[in-house]
Amino acid sequence: MPFYYYFDPTMLIVLPALLLALYAQFKVKSAYHAGDRVSTGYGMTGYDAARRILDQNGLYHVSIEEIPGELSDHYDPRANVIRLSAKVYHSNTASAVGVAAHEAGHAVQYAQNYAPIRLRAAIIPVCNVGSTLALPLFLVGLLLVIEPLMWFGILAYSLTALFQLITLPVEFNASRRAMTILSDSGRFTEEQLRASRKVLSAAALTYVAALATSLLSVLRLIVIVGGRRRD
């Protein structure tokens, strides 16, 4: 039986988002490695940058830990800890400082009750349940030809898109806070700031790609239901 017999044409709906995701990953790695070649002034490391931002905002209780991995950096609001990958923690490069400042920006968002990040945190449990049940519900509905079950699956999957949508302003705002603080410090040249900005802009593109993937995946499932009706 020829290969095209098994091909699902609805996958073409998601293809643009998948290509964007691949491009975003390429941009992140490219910008990160380019920024690694730009040293910061005063020998400031990623740890130093994050600590300075936290202290400037009175967040002395937020600690900074070193963790393994690459680009595994994140802020844990439950533990009040910024976790930086070893390279970011110790390096005095534009990439390290940009990434660390971004994570410190998230800590400041929580401290200042930035509405989108609070909303994102509130819906995480519901979104996790939805993402777990979405495809099983849809597939069972598809196999048993139970259309309401398919729509429940689509609705559950839509929660992922909602989460990604709320994530966008959170990530853009954290990067903007980071770059403003770094620029106002007067410790960095325009070249250093530009390199940090490129890293954060490339990282932001990955969130745009994630949202596009979620939205087009929902559209694909809707098209599948429509095709089933016509059959």
CA-based nearest residue to 202, from 172, 157, 223? 172
Q: Containing domain of residue 223, as a range?
A: 3-45+94-230
115 lies in a domain?
yes
First to last CA, the chain: 22
Of 65, 103, 190, 191, the active-site residue reads: 103
Digit-coded pLDDT (tens) for 76-130: 999 999 999 999 999 999 999 999 999 999 999 999 999 999 999 999 999 999 9
**What pLDDT does residue 1 have?**
39
Lowest-confidence region among 38-42, 81-85, 138-142, 221-225: 38-42
Active site residue 171: no
Q: Give the integer Cα–Cα distance in Å for 114 and 158.
A: 24
Q: Give the integer Cα–Cα distance in Å for 74 and 84.
A: 7
Digit-coded pLDDT (tens) for 203-216: 999 999 999 999 99
167 lies in a domain?
yes
Digit-coded pLDDT (tens) for 147-206: 999 999 999 999 999 999 999 999 999 999 999 999 998 889 999 999 999 999 999 999
Q: Is 160 helix (H, G, I), strand (E, B) or coil?
A: helix
Residue 226 has pLDDT above 90, yes or no: no
**What pLDDT does residue 208 have?**
96
Give me the residue label for tokens 């490695």.
Answer: 33
pLDDT band for 7, please (50, 70, 90 cuts).
Answer: low
183 lies in a domain?
yes
85 lies in a domain?
no
70 lies in a domain?
no
pTM: 0.89
Q: Give the integer Cα–Cα distance in Å for 157 and 174.
A: 26
Digit-coded pLDDT (tens) for 23-49: 999 999 999 999 999 998 778 999 999
Which residues, in sequence order, are CB contacts of 149 under 8 Å at separation 6+?
137, 138, 140, 141
74 lies in a domain?
no
CA-based nearest residue to 114, from 56, 50, 171? 171
Q: Give the integer Cα–Cα distance in Å for 102 and 178.
A: 5
Tokens of 52: 């300075």
**What pLDDT does residue 230 have?**
63
71 lies in a domain?
no
Residue 231 has pLDDT above 70, yes or no: no
7 lies in a domain?
yes
Number of domain units in the chain: 1
Buried-exposed string 150-189: b where 16+ CB fall within 10 A, e elsewhere: bbbbbebbbbbbbbbbbbebbbbbbbebbbebbeebebbe
